[in-house]
Amino acid sequence: MKIVRTSILPFHGFSAINLLGILFVHHGVYLSNELINHERIHTAQQRELLYVFFYIIYIIEWLVRLTMRGNAYRNISFEREAYANQRNLNYLKERPLCAWRHYMRPAARHRK
Ligand SMILES: [Zn+2]
């Protein structure tokens, strides 16, 4: 994964953003193994959806989640999969195709 350090991206409040498999990170942000793995999971999601469908689904799901309870960003299925598995550094070796589908359930079912 190509990593680009910049002060422009990502937007305020985020430390990194993965665009088309390129990771844009603010200067000074520590790139932990978990963060890299999180972003690699997003790259896998993007590839299997031919990139364009990833962004279309991501934005539509975010807009829908804005109308629901909880944090819309954190409840997007792509983010749920990435956050749930970022600590498993072997996850991408064992990950089923389109595993994000299994994270589309309503947010309330994931609460502890
Ligand atoms: Zn993410």
Interval between CA 69 and ligand 1 midpoint (Å): 19
Place 106 in a pLDDT band, splitting at 50, 70 and 90.
low
- Report every protein residue that has its C-beta within 5 angstroms of ion ligand 1: 79, 82
Q: What is the pLDDT of residue 112?
A: 43
Interval between CA 5 and ligand 1 midpoint (Å): 17
At 3-48, the pLDDT tens digits run 999 988 888 888 889 999 999 999 989 999 999 999 999 999 999 9
Q: Is the pLDDT of residue 110 over 70?
A: no
Element (H, E) at 4: strand 2-5
Asked whether 74 and 80 are in contact (CB, 8 A), the reply is yes
At 86-96, the pLDDT tens digits run 999 999 999 99
Question: pTM for this structure?
Answer: 0.89
Element (H, E) at 73: helix 72-75
